[in-house]
Amino acid sequence: MEDMARLWNINPVKVPHWNEPTHVENILSHIAKGTNHAWRSPEEDAKRLLKEFDLEEFGIGTVGGKVDTVIETSGAASSINMGIRLLRPGGKYVQMGVGKAKIEFPIVALSNKQLMFRGCFRYDAGDYELAVKLIAKGLVQVKPLISSVTLFEDATKAWEKTENGEGIENSIEDVKD
């Protein structure tokens, strides 16, 4: 994610999704710079992040900061709530993470800030080709994200690692002919 942000000149201020600390700690080992643990209320965390990164904006009618765009990738209700609260009026919110079918979020803040809210299901036409090109050019590093590679015959071990929050990407190798 940080590599992608740099490619498009975006300041990669990141907040990990709200999962068990073991999973977050694994992710933080790869994206520690600019990352914050966010385990309070969405309102408190939004205020803390805005202050910590000098993104507070005063004199506006709604709570928010100097954040133009939020791309939420976890699908967790708490992260969605915080993302909406971080945005400045007129900001853009993109929901990529898929969480529960129904969640509670601050609709009044979304409306009062006149936010542009857009849903996205992870991939779009041309994304795979773009990813391959970026990796081939060395612009995006993926090897540090691969925690383990497991033979197909032992696939359940990879699933168990993932279930236990071990690693980021526990890959399963294809069947060899």
Q: Answer yes or no: do 84 and 151 share one domain.
A: no
- The lowest-confidence range among 4-18, 57-71, 124-138 is 4-18
Please tell me whether residues 90 and 37 are part of one structural domain. Answer: yes
pLDDT in tens, 105-139: 899 989 989 999 998 876 778 888 888 898 899 88
The owner of tokens 């009062």 is: 112
User: Is the confidence at residue 168, as pLDDT, over 80?
Assistant: no
Same domain, 53 and 6: yes
> Is 72 among the domain residues?
yes
Task: State whether residue 60 is helix, strand or coil.
Answer: coil
- Residue 130 domain flag: no
Tell me, what's the pLDDT at 93? 94
Q: What SS3 state is found at 71?
A: strand
Asked if residue 100 and residue 21 are part of one domain, the reply reads yes
CA distance to 8, 79, 114, 131, per residue, from 125 (Å): 19, 27, 29, 12
Would the pTM of this model clear 0.75, i.e. be above it? no
